[in-house]
């Protein structure tokens, strides 16, 4: 069968099943599912899986309008979602999208559901344009048009106003590969060019290289530890943390797992101690540091009750647990896993982490707060309430040049729509 045949659709189906039944993240599930396919089938299957996960809310809403019975088995629902995405957004002709979905249903679920799948998808193809799509001025309408839950649209409007749609749509663009050069970035760029790639220097950091189409796992520089894979927003955070600690300064990375920023800061000369609440996350930091030949002591510790003495470090990096709405480009399913109460719930943890970390830097030291999200609650609101309680701290706005300043509080936001990076909030808080 051709590149858009049954094998690639079965692979995409397996990804959806693992994401929905095992709670798997899509990227490892895709990597596992497409391994045996040829290159074109791999690309088709990966795109079909990621896109179907991204547009799940819209697909379910539309399917809800044509399904004759409200409850259907989840495995059949995943077949229908894949078919519906192809009908609504894919390049496959409608008759082929329906026929291959019927084949998929037969292969994965059984012959008994083929008639049902055929009927539902034919009805959907006929009725898609005439469905009662809500006005895009409403959160539900813009959510259906951009592939997000209404609460995320409301959060985006609260944060970005009239630019909310730009940010939401940028979150639907698959991110390219960015590498962090651990040595001379110019030499790394030449090495990558020599193997047929077209690297360009990042706009925000001298060590970032954007490398479209690269397979990091196949690059000698990555295998040999001369480069790591890192989004440019994360690169900027690690640089800010190392700078805040000062040359050779002591930096505690209190939420360090899996360790990309801790190792980057160590590369920049900071004396880093890394900690994470979760043992398996702490272990990943230790493994990464060992792979990169870095001396980074790692502890398992709760940042809300830190076991370190006050005043013992030059800076603390709090790369806080958050809703992750800034990384939906690489984790499309995240938008359906998070719920409307999560920003407030995570903000409570973030406030506790900031409060507990505040005594750790020496006088004149710094707290660097970062979160890969953009909700008001987890960014300016958390930091605003911290500053109100700790008059010995002030935001050091000049410490971060990248990104966009915010109208409602300190810090800057790196934006997928403007910077081509993950969404990332970053602020340096200097202790007097």
Ligand X SMILES: C[S@@+](CC[C@H](N)C(=O)[O-])C[C@H]1O[C@@H](n2cnc3c(N)ncnc32)[C@H](O)[C@@H]1O
Residue 368 contacts ligand X per CB under 6 A = no
CB neighbours of 252 closer than 8 A, spacing ≥ 6?
Answer: 272, 273, 274, 275, 308, 313, 315, 316, 317, 357, 360
Q: Could you give phi then psi for residue 179, rounded to 5 degrees?
A: -110, 150
Residue choice 43, 145, 158, 277 for contact with ligand X (CB under 6 A) = 277
Instruction: Print the binding letters for residues 279-298 with ligand X: x by CB under 6 A, - otherwise.
Output: --x-----------------
Chain centre to alpha carbon of residue 370: 14
Alpha-carbon distance 326 to 424, whole Å? 6
Residue 81 contacts ligand X per CB under 6 A = no
Q: How many CB atoms lie within 10 A of CB 90?
A: 20
Strand locations in 211-290, DSSP E?
A: 227-229, 250-253, 271-276
Give the range of 18-26, 139-147, 191-199, 270-278 binding ligand X by CB under 6 A. Answer: 270-278
Residue choice 234, 350, 373, 421 for contact with ligand X (CB under 6 A) = 234
Rounded to the nearest whole angstrom, what is the least distance from the CB of residue 99 to ligand X in the complex? 44
Would you say 57 or 260 has its CB closer to ligand X?
260
Count of residues engaged in binding ligand X, rule: CB under 6 A:
19
Give the range of 106-114, 219-227, 251-259, 419-427 binding ligand X by CB under 6 A. Answer: 251-259
- Write out the H or E segment, with its range, that includes residue 200: strand 200-201
What amino acid positions are annotated as catalytic residues?
372
Instruction: Print the binding letters for residues 370-409 with ligand X: x by CB under 6 A, - otherwise.
Output: --x-------------------------------------
Rounded to the nearest whole angstrom, what is the least distance from the CB of residue 24 to ligand X in the complex? 18
Yes or no: say if 216 and 209 are a contact pair by the CB < 8 Å rule: no
CA 339 vs CA 90, 157, 324, 343, 348: distances in Å: 28, 16, 12, 8, 15
Report the phi/psi class of residue 269: left, alpha or beta, with left for phi > 0 and alpha for psi in -120 to 50.
left
Residue choice 65, 112, 126, 278 for contact with ligand X (CB under 6 A) = 278
Work out the widest C-alpha separation in the chain, in whole angstroms.
71
Instruction: Report 310-339 residues binding ligand X (CB under 6 A).
Output: 319, 321
Residue choice 259, 361, 411, 423 for contact with ligand X (CB under 6 A) = 259
Would you say 95 or 278 has its CB closer to ligand X?
278
DSSP 324-372: -GGGTTT-TTHHHHS-TTHHHHHHHHHHHHHHHHTTSEEEEEEEEEEES
Alpha-carbon distance 285 to 297, whole Å? 9
Residue choice 83, 303, 361, 410 for contact with ligand X (CB under 6 A) = 303
Residue choice 136, 140, 169, 302 for contact with ligand X (CB under 6 A) = 302
CB neighbours of 272 closer than 8 A, spacing ≥ 6?
Answer: 251, 252, 253, 262, 263, 265, 266, 296
Give the range of 2-10, 92-100, 259-267, 332-340 binding ligand X by CB under 6 A. Answer: 259-267
Give the range of 85-93, 134-142, 277-285, 384-392 binding ligand X by CB under 6 A. Answer: 277-285
Residue 239 contacts ligand X per CB under 6 A = no
Residue choice 5, 134, 246, 258 for contact with ligand X (CB under 6 A) = 258
Residue 241 contacts ligand X per CB under 6 A = no
Contacts to ligand X by CB under 6 A: 234, 254-261, 276-278, 281, 302-304, 319, 321, 372
């Amino acid at each position: 069968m051709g590149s858009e045949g049954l094998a690639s659709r079965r692979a995409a189906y397996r990804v959806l099943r693992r994401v929905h039944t095992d709670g798997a993240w899509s990227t490892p599930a895709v990597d596992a599912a497409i391994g045996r396919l040829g290159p074109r089938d791999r690309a088709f299957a990966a795109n079909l899986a990621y896109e179907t996960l991204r547009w799940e809310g819209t697909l379910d809403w539309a399917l809800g309008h044509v399904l004759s019975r409200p409850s259907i088995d989840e495995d059949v629902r995943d077949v229908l979602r894949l078919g519906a995405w192809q009908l609504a957004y894919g390049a496959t002709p409608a008759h082929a999208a329906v026929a291959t979905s019927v084949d998929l249903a037969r292969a994965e679920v059984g012959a008994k559901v083929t008639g049902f799948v055929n009927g539902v998808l034919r009805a959907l193809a006929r009725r898609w344009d005439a469905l009662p799509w809500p006005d895009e001025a409403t959160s539900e309408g813009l959510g259906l048009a951009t592939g997000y839950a209404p609460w995320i649209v409301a959060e985006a409007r609260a944060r970005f106003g009239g630019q909310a749609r730009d940010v939401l749509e940028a979150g639907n663009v698959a991110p390219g590969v960015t590498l962090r050069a651990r040595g001379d970035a110019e030499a790394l760029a030449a090495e990558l060019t020599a193997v047929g790639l077209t690297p360009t220097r990042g706009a925000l950091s001298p060590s970032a290289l954007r490398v479209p189409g690269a397979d990091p796992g196949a690059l000698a520089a990555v295998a040999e530890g001369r480069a790591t894979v890192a989004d440019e927003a994360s690169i900027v955070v690690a640089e800010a943390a190392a700078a805040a600690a000062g040359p050779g300064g002591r930096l505690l990375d209190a939420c360090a797992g899996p360790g990309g920023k801790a190792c980057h800061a160590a590369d920049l000369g900071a004396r880093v101690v890394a900690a994470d609440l979760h043992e398996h996350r702490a272990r990943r930091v230790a493994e990464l540091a060992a792979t990169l030949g870095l001396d980074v002591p790692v502890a398992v510790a709760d940042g809300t009750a830190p076991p370190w003495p006050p005043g013992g470090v030059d800076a603390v990096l709090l790369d806080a647990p958050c809703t992750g709405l800034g990384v939906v480009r690489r984790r499309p399913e995240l938008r359906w896993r998070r719920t409307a109460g999560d920003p407030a719930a995570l903000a409570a943890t973030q406030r506790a982490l900031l409060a507990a970390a505040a005594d750790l830097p020496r006088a004149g030291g710094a707290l660097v707060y970062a979160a890969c999200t953009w909700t008001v609650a987890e960014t300016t609101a958390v930091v605003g309430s911290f500053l109100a309680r700790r008059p010995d701290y002030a935001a050091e706005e000049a410490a971060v040049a990248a990104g966009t300043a915010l109208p409602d509080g300190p810090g800057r936001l790196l934006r997928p729509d403007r910077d081509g990076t993950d969404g990332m909030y970053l602020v340096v808080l200097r202790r007097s």
